[in-house]
């Protein structure tokens, strides 16, 4: 019973992290493209901020995967 709950928790972590990251990265990229369309002269600054924010979101996803793998290791 306990192993099943741990496996379910690991699957839930991966599902939530993957979905949340995909949605947030899509919204961030959309807003960045909208900002570049409004102010093309600020494209370099916006692009730099976009890359940093996407990297931080991806790091959170990797931390979630790490938690899931640690849970699977307990099985």
pLDDT computed for residue 18 by the predictor = 92
In angstroms, what CA-CA distances link 60 with 2, 41, 64, 72?
Answer: 27, 31, 6, 19
For helices 43-73 and 2-38, angle between their N-to-C axes, nearest 10 degrees? 180
Model's pTM, two decimal places?
0.79
Domains of the chain: 2-73 (1.20.20.10)
pLDDT computed for residue 73 by the predictor = 86
Query: What is the average per-residue pLDDT within 37-60?
Result: 94
pLDDT computed for residue 2 by the predictor = 85
pLDDT, tens digit (0-9, with 9 covering 90-100), for 11-36: 999 999 999 999 999 999 999 999 99
Which residue in this structure is represented by tokens 């949340």? Answer: 20
pLDDT, tens digit (0-9, with 9 covering 90-100), for 54-73: 999 999 999 999 988 988 88
Which residue in this structure is represented by tokens 């991966």? Answer: 14
């Amino acid at each position: 019973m306990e192993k099943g709950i741990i496996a379910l928790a690991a699957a839930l972590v991966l599902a939530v992290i993957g979905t949340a990251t995909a949605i947030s990265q899509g919204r961030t990229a959309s807003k960045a493209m909208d900002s570049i369309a409004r102010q093309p002269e600020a494209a370099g600054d916006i692009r730099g901020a976009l890359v940093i924010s996407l990297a931080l979101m991806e790091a959170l996803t990797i931390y979630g995967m790490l938690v899931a793998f640690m849970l699977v290791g307990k099985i």
